[in-house]
């Protein structure tokens, strides 16, 4: 089970100050079925936001809390006011833009570089990184076939097999 502060950070929609969190959170975990992180267990008011919205009759992924450039390297949340972001490579939780920039400096750009390498590997296969379907489409350099897969790519902390495999390969050939 995730610590309470993680759940609050992921699900809280109001950008309120949170209790002090542990300095580093790198524990790996399995999310509950359906990529849900226990939000149903949250007490009190909490605003449900859809990951996908319809604009001009077209289904689109909501922007969520990160900029497009940041989604390349970080997993965000669909809650626009949330601070939550997780490094796609090392799983560090980086809860502000400042922390994310510092993470990049501290890792000497390593995490970002590895993510780009993973994307290059996966592009060769032309298989969606989320669902493994054949696709010529790419987003953030990764093969991503659909709006639904893009939503998962932006917001889901579930480790997908293709992603895990690519990570293993770039680590081994570092
Ligand atoms: Zn990292
Ligand atoms: Zn897909």
Q: Is residue 16 situated within a structural domain?
A: no
Interatomic CA distance for residues 116 and 130, integer angstroms:
16
Measure 20 CA to ligand 2 centroid, in angstroms. 37
Measure 128 CA to ligand 2 centroid, in angstroms. 5
User: What pLDDT was estimated at residue 48?
Assistant: 73
The residue ranges of the chain whose pLDDT is under 70 are 1-47
- Using the structure block, give the residue that is written with the tokens 């209790």: 19
**Distance between start and end Cα atoms, the chain:** 32
Q: How many domains does the chain have?
A: 1
Measure 132 CA to ligand 2 centroid, in angstroms. 6
Q: Is residue 121 situated within a structural domain?
A: yes
Other Cβ atoms within 10 Å of 139 Cβ, number: 18
CB 167 within 8 A of CB 174: no
Q: Is residue 4 situated within a structural domain?
A: no
Q: Is residue 1 situated within a structural domain?
A: no
User: What pLDDT was estimated at residue 42?
Assistant: 47
Measure 36 CA to ligand 2 centroid, in angstroms. 19
Task: Compute φ and ψ for 60, nearest 5 degrees.
Answer: -135, 150
pTM higher than the cut 0.85: no
Q: Is residue 164 situated within a structural domain?
A: yes
User: What pLDDT was estimated at residue 27?
Assistant: 43
Domain, as residue range, for 161: 23-173
User: What pLDDT was estimated at residue 25?
Assistant: 46
Measure 115 CA to ligand 1 centroid, in angstroms. 9
Q: Is residue 43 situated within a structural domain?
A: yes
Q: Is residue 114 situated within a structural domain?
A: yes
Q: Is residue 2 situated within a structural domain?
A: no
Residues 165-174: tens digit of each pLDDT: 999 999 998 7
User: What pLDDT was estimated at residue 132?
Assistant: 95
């Amino acid at each position: 089970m995730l610590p309470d502060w993680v759940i609050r950070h992921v699900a809280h929609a109001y950008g309120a100050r949170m209790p002090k969190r542990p300095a580093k959170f790198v524990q790996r975990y399995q999310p509950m079925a359906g990529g849900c992180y226990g939000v149903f267990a949250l007490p009190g008011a909490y605003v449900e936001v859809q990951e996908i919205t319809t604009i001009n009759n077209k289904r689109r992924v909501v922007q969520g809390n990160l900029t497009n450039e940041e989604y390349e390297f970080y997993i965000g949340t669909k809650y626009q006011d949330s601070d939550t972001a997780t490094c796609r490579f090392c799983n560090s939780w980086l809860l502000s833009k400042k922390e994310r920039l510092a993470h990049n400096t501290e890792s000497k750009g390593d995490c970002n570089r590895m993510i780009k390498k993973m994307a290059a590997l996966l592009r060769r296969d032309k298989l969606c990184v989320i669902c493994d379907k054949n696709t010529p489409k790419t987003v953030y350099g990764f093969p991503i076939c659909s709006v639904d897969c893009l939503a998962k790519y932006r917001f889901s902390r579930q480790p997908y097999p293709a992603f895990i495999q690519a990570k293993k390969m770039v680590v081994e050939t570092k």
